[in-house]
């Protein structure tokens, strides 16, 4: 029997492991549910997860942070709390405000860090010293990971991070109204990332990396013309560094990526997740396998947002179909569309029990149908 790491590495090399890798975890608050004990034991035994081992420090949008604070600015017990977040840099202070409804896990952005043109120009024109490499932290992370999963190092995506720290409305205005400023920012920030990766890989850090942010650079926000100008060339420069050193890169990308998969392979993405199908995304798994399945590892396609409504037998059927479609020949990992298998929401106990039952069905079906050779 393969270790979790061996299984994932084999599948990512487009060879058939002993069984399909199964990525599965549940949220911290759902782990306290009475129905979670057996599921947690199952996850601990069979899940083939990617484990973030750290080692690269990207600061705040690539800028060193002199001071970072989180301050409670309004507290209404039983209603909400509001916090101000502060990041002090060499080009000034950036602030954001978050709104936290009482009794809810999630929060809302009331104000982002980069919201004005002045904010953006400060970010774009700021001096950008070399980013920090912490080999000792990476080594510590690798030792803790062992063979429990595939160790992966997170890589900063300058454009995706800018959009997350601003708003899509503002950034997409700057694409058109501040084109030169945007290119200056992307050139400088991606040079930082490329230089850090050169140092990291030369020091032995890697070889597996993960990146996020592409989901906000796809339809309905971005079409091919903007993607070709502002995403492809900058991503390819960074990704080429990883490939020159024999590394691989996986992207976390929700949404409508179907018509971009071949382009994403060409710019250097070696794997992608979570491959959402309609209505939350547009990925046809069989067509994705046909187009890029021998060059890009496909991970996902099980709609955990539906775990609220479907039965375990329906989940079992979805898993069976996904495996039969994409697993032959390797290059596939079973994964849900949500990173915590649909358990991130605050749900009544009886509804959470149903979701947890469907997570268990997802894993058991992966074990049942995922043994190689895959049967049709």
Q: In the structure, how many helices (H) and strands (E) does the chain have?
A: 13, 13
C-alpha angle with apex 160: 157 to 161, nearest 5 degrees? 75
**Which pTM was predicted?**
0.96
- Strands ordered across the beta sheet of 108-111: 67-76, 80-89, 92-101, 108-111
**Is the pLDDT reported for residue 372 higher than 80?**
yes
CA 102 to chain centre: 28
Please state, as a whole number, how many other Cβ atoms lie within 10 Å of the Cβ of residue 81: 16
Domain 4-61+114-369 has CATH 3.20.20.210: yes
Listed in sequence order, the residues at least 6 apart from 348 whose beta carbon sits closer than 8 Å to its beta carbon are none
Quick check: 113 and 85 in contact, CB under 8 A?
yes
pLDDT score of 375:
86
Quick check: 107 and 100 in contact, CB under 8 A?
yes
3-state secondary structure of 11: helix
Report the candidate in 319, 329, 318, 322 with the shortest Cα–Cα distance to residue 296.
329
Q: Is 50 exposed, middle or buried, given 0-12, 13-18 or 19+ CB atoms closer than 10 A?
A: buried
Phi/psi at 301 (nearest 5 deg)? 85, 5
* pLDDT tens digits, 309-360: 999 999 999 999 999 999 999 999 999 998 899 998 888 999 999 999 999 9
* pLDDT tens digits, 185-213: 999 999 999 999 999 999 999 999 999 99
pLDDT band at 376 (very low <50, low <70, confident <90, very high): low
**Is the pLDDT reported for residue 161 higher than 90?**
yes
Query: Across residues 142-171, what is the average pLDDT?
Result: 96
Domain map (residue ranges) of the chain: 4-61+114-369, 63-113
* pLDDT tens digits, 253-303: 999 999 999 999 999 999 999 999 999 999 999 999 999 999 999 999 999
Q: Is the dihedral of CA 157, 161, 164, 166 positive or negative?
A: negative
Cα distances (angstroms) measured from residue 311 to each of 31, 70, 162, 224, 322: 21, 42, 40, 39, 17
pLDDT band at 103 (very low <50, low <70, confident <90, very high): confident
Report the candidate in 44, 50, 41 with the shortest Cα–Cα distance to residue 21.
50
Strands 80-89 and 67-76 come out as: antiparallel
């Amino acid at each position: 029997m393969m270790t979790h790491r061996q299984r994932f590495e084999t599948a990512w090399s487009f060879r058939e492991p002993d069984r399909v890798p199964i990525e599965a975890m549940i949220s911290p608050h759902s782990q306290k549910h009475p129905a979670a004990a057996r599921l947690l034991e199952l996850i601990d035994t069979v899940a083939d997860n990617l484990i973030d081992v750290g080692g690269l420090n990207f600061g705040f949008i690539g800028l060193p942070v002199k001071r970072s604070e989180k301050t409670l600015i309004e507290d209404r017990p039983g209603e909400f709390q509001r916090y101000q977040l502060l990041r002090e840099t060499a080009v000034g202070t950036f602030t954001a405000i978050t709104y936290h409804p009482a009794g809810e896990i999630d929060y809302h952005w009331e104000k982002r860090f980069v919201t004005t043109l002045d904010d953006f120009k400060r970010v774009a024109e700021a001096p950008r010293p070399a980013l920090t490499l912490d080999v000792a932290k990476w080594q510590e992370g690798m030792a803790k990971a062992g063979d429990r999963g595939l160790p992966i190092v997170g890589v900063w995506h300058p454009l995706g991070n800018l959009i997350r720290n601003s708003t899509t409305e503002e950034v997409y205005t700057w694409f058109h109204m501040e084109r030169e400023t945007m290119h200056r920012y992307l050139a400088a920030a991606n040079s930082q990332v490329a230089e850090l990766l050169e140092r990291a890989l030369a020091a032995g850090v890697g070889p597996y990396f993960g990146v996020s942010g592409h989901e906000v650079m796809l339809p309905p926000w971005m079409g091919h013309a903007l993607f070709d100008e502002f995403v492809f060339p900058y991503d390819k420069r960074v990704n080429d560094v990883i490939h020159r050193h024999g590394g691989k890169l996986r992207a976390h990308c929700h949404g409508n990526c179907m018509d971009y998969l071949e382009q994403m392979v060409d710019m250097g993405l070696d794997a992608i997740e979570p491959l959402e199908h309609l209505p939350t995304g547009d990925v046809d798994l069989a067509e994705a396998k046909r187009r890029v399945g021998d060059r890009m590892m496909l991970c996902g396609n099980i709609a955990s947002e539906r775990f609220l409504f479907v039965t375990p037998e329906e989940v079992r059927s979805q898993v069976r179909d996904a495996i039969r479609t994409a697993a032959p020949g390797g290059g596939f990992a079973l994964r849900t569309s949500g990173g915590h298998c649909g358990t991130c929401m605050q749900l009544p106990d009886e509804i959470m029990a149903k979701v947890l039952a469907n997570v268990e069905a997802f894993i058991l079906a992966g074990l049942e149908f995922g043994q190689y050779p895959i049967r049709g």
